[in-house]
């Protein structure tokens, strides 16, 4: 992946040198030309590693999912605070994860902790179960499905 990125930068700088133009627009054209060349050569020779822009897109997607979940949970917590009567049901539930590496589990745990209303309390020694405290558990299965469909799926796209 890093080699693909470096090769793409090399093509962009060669394009700028060939045109004797050191502007940003010339670099962008060279960069896009490099992307096209890399895609063309990838189709002629299959490779095991995915194209680096796919992983970059997955990272951006994970960031956008986190921002969306952060915003939604902020409004939910504010709504709980502003209600005259506190109608919450806090609780702890176990979340079985399919993530394999310690880095993936740590990232998931951090994303859960950074989202208001949830907190990762502990991770099992085999790194397969996270114990999560939520400020309002009406349906633990719905929370599990939400975490699996948002954070865990996006983490898998970034890391694999």
Domain ranges of the chain: 2-44, 53-159
pLDDT, position 40 = 86
Per-run averaged pLDDT (10 residues), the chain, 160 residues: 87 94 94 91 73 88 96 92 89 94 95 94 94 91 93 92
pLDDT, position 112 = 95
Residue 10 to residues 19, 23, 32, 82, Cα–Cα distance (Å): 14, 16, 12, 56
Residue 95 to residues 13, 121, 126, 128, 133, Cα–Cα distance (Å): 48, 11, 13, 8, 10
């Amino acid at each position: 992946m890093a080699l693909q990125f470096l090769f793409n930068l090399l093509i962009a700088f060669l394009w700028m040198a060939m045109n004797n133009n050191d502007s940003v627009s010339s670099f962008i054209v060279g960069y896009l030309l490099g992307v096209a060349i890399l895609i063309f050569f990838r189709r002629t020779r299959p490779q095991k590693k995915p194209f680096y822009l796919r992983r970059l897109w997955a990272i951006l997607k994970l960031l956008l999912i986190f921002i969306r979940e952060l915003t939604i949970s902020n409004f939910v917590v504010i709504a709980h605070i502003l209600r005259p009567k506190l109608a919450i049901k806090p609780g702890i539930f176990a979340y079985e994860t399919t993530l394999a590496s310690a880095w993936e589990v740590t990232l998931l745990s951090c994303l859960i902790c950074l989202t208001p209303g949830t907190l990762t309390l502990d991770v099992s020694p085999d790194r397969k179960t996270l114990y999560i405290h939520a400020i309002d558990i009406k349906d633990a299965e719905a929370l599990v499905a939400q975490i699996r469909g948002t954070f865990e799926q996006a983490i898998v796209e970034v890391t694999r």
